[in-house]
Amino acid sequence: MKHLKQKFNLVLSLVTAFLLLPALSLAQNADVVEKGSFQALKTPIILVVALIVAIGLLFLIEKVVPRKVRPLFSVIFLLASVFFGYKIYNSIMAPVEFRQVKVKRYTAVINNLKDIRDAQLAHKTIRGDYAKDFNALESFIENAEFAIVEKRDSSYTEFDKVYKIDKLKEVVIIDTLSFRAVKDSLFKGSDRYKKMRYVPYAKNEKETFKMKVDSIIVNGYTAPVFKVSVDKDVILHDQNKDLLMQEKRVVSVDEVDGKEIFVGSLEKVSDSGNWPTSYEINDKNKKK
């Protein structure tokens, strides 16, 4: 009989461990949790403490609780083990799943921002300024062309009226060879530029990025500037509110800082985004 009870107690302990081990395995995955981070260290600590408490309670029941009511306590403990095991599992998995969702959605958003940035830079190169809205930018992509040019050095002599002699003049001659459509140059036959204004994974499928265009004075010259942005609330609208609040306060070289994802700036001449280099590396690997 005693041997049977020991087996039963062992089963109870294993139930708790079984519920938590999948979370431990995934939470240690380097793809979703950075090695050495607080989240990676917190997970095994929670597991060890939970198992120690579970085993301690089992022995406490065995030593303190009267023999007649031990079966009732054992059943209560089994249910409690399952309940708290489930809760601990969720507490471990929630940040891991949040990060997986975040990285997937941020990647799609950043890819759109890159397309918008490339289109705006092409607009500035050809027209001298940035498109004021998405309609103008899309129209530009569909109709504008890049000039394919060839540069070559040349020289000629010119009579100098002051010194009364011929002087050698060196010049750069630019020949226009042909034209290439902006659409083909930037998007290589794809029509994704027609959807780049829309925020991926937003609650409203027609939610668009916020785009602002302005000009600033830099060293006495007027320079055009632009900024395209979207709030993290829009991208992660259906995620855990506490984790979303933490995400909006994050400041790290390995994360997207602040409350929004953006490219460009209205305060300085810049076409950079506020995302880390990891999103650039992941994008290059996918293209390979």
Q: Domain for residue 246, yes or no? A: no
Q: Domain for residue 223, yes or no? A: no
Range 80-97 burial, b when 16+ CB lie within 10 A, else e: ebeeebeebbeebeebbb
Above pLDDT 90, what percent of the chain? 43
Predicted pLDDT at 106:
97
Q: Domain for residue 227, yes or no? A: no
Q: Domain for residue 93, yes or no? A: yes
Q: Domain for residue 255, yes or no? A: no
Number of folded domains that form the chain: 1
Q: Domain for residue 107, yes or no? A: no
Res. 58: pLDDT tops 80:
no
Which is more confidently placed, 55 or 149?
55
Report the mean per-residue pLDDT for the chain: 78
Residue 144, helix vs strand vs coil: coil
Q: 85 lies in which domain range?
A: 2-99
Q: Domain for residue 177, yes or no? A: no
Q: Domain for residue 66, yes or no? A: yes
Res. 277: pLDDT tops 50:
yes
Res. 261: pLDDT tops 70:
yes
Above pLDDT 70, what percent of the chain? 64
Question: What does the alpha-carbon distance between residue 188 and residue 220 come to, in Å, rounded to a whole number?
Answer: 39
Q: How confident is the model at residue 239 (pLDDT cuts 50, 70, 90)?
A: very high
Per residue in 61-95, pLDDT (tens digit) is 667 767 776 677 667 766 776 776 676 667 677 88
Beta strands in 204-281 (DSSP E): 210-218, 221-231, 260-265
Predicted pLDDT at 225:
97
Torsion sign across C-alpha atoms 20, 26, 28, 34 = negative
Least confident segment among 19-23, 28-32, 46-50, 201-205: 28-32
